[in-house]
Amino acid sequence: MKTKCLIVGSGPAGYTAAIYTSRANLSPILYEGMQPGGQLTTTTEVENFPGYPEGITGPELMEDLRKQALRFGTDIRTGLIVKADFSKRPFVLTADSGDIIEAETVIISTGATARYLGLPDEEKFKGLGVSACATCDGFFYRGKTVAVVGGGDTACEEALYLSNLAKKVYMIVRKDYLRASKVMQERVLKKENITVLFNCNTAALFGSDVLEGAKIVEHKGTAKEQIFDISIDGFFLAIGHTPNTAVFEGQIKLDKEGFIVTKGDTTETNIPGVFAAGDVADPRYRQAISAAGTGCRAALDAERFLNEN
């Protein structure tokens, strides 16, 4: 099976790349991956994607993008790419169905997976108080009490962002210090409505229909150990994301966290003809709209590459 462009992964980046490459007559094939539609399919309400003044649910938004890609002729397939050989062109990729695809260009948009603590209650309250994106969901907690898990720069940024919306913000930090840069630490510690709970771990979350609180263990496993509850409406995880790049390791240049490194202002990777779009190459912004933008750019980069080669 041969194609001018294979898109690996869906979500806003993959579907946007598909819309652009289809309209450029590249007849792309898109493999949707393990979570068709990406992370947004686990988000109930999306209010910050332009063009939806009343807001839209994550699954509906992804379905709209998917339909648009299909309308222009994208060959959308269910399944995963499990093997990739980028040593020569055309590139050879293998799907979990056993299908082998020869592609002139490849756009990787496999996304990143938010890290969770692994508590059973996290799944239960996902979208009902538990979130891994303060910028996406913070607005729903105006005037409420929330907690942020983590002690790095991202956690401090999220806590500061939430402190401008929420009545009170707890930071739950495992160690007795913040790992964040000095500037971020100072900002957090100065903010009146942020309380940092040092030496603390989350043992459980509770609530009837929606999240109502968290059980906290302080000085876990020591003589000073004590357990207490905090009342919260929102629980935000800021302990990092894992980019879905395992299948490309050893061929594509990755940063120390595993995100794909792109060249300058382009979506080009270290391999000519292979491009990266969305959260898989973006440890910083991680927004649907910025992912869609890079999907567009990857499609234009792929089209230009084919014209020149």
Whether the ω angle into residue 283 lies within 30 degrees of 0, i.e. cis, is: no
Residues pairing with 7 in the sheet: 30, 107
What residues are annotated to the active site? 133, 136-137
Instruction: Round to whole Å and give the CA distance between 197 and 209.
Output: 26
Angle at 87 between CA 84 and CA 93, to 5 degrees: 20
- Cβ neighbours around 60 below 10 Å, total: 15
DSSP for residue 271: S
HEC per residue, the chain? CEEEEEEECCHHHHHHHHHHHHHCCCCCEEECCCCCCHHHHHCCCECCCCCCCCCECHHHHHHHHHHHHHHCCCEEECCCEEEEECCCCCEEEEECCCCEEEEEEEEECCCEEECCCCCHHHHHCECCCEECCHHHHHHHHCCCEEEEECCCHHHHHHHHHHHCCCCEEEEECCCCCCCCCHHHHHHHHHCCCEEEECCEEEEEEECCCCCCEEEEEECCCCCCCEEEEEECCEEEECCCEEECCHHHCCCCCECCCCCECCCCCCCECCCCCEEECHHHHCCCCCCHHHHHHHHHHHHHHHHHHHHHC
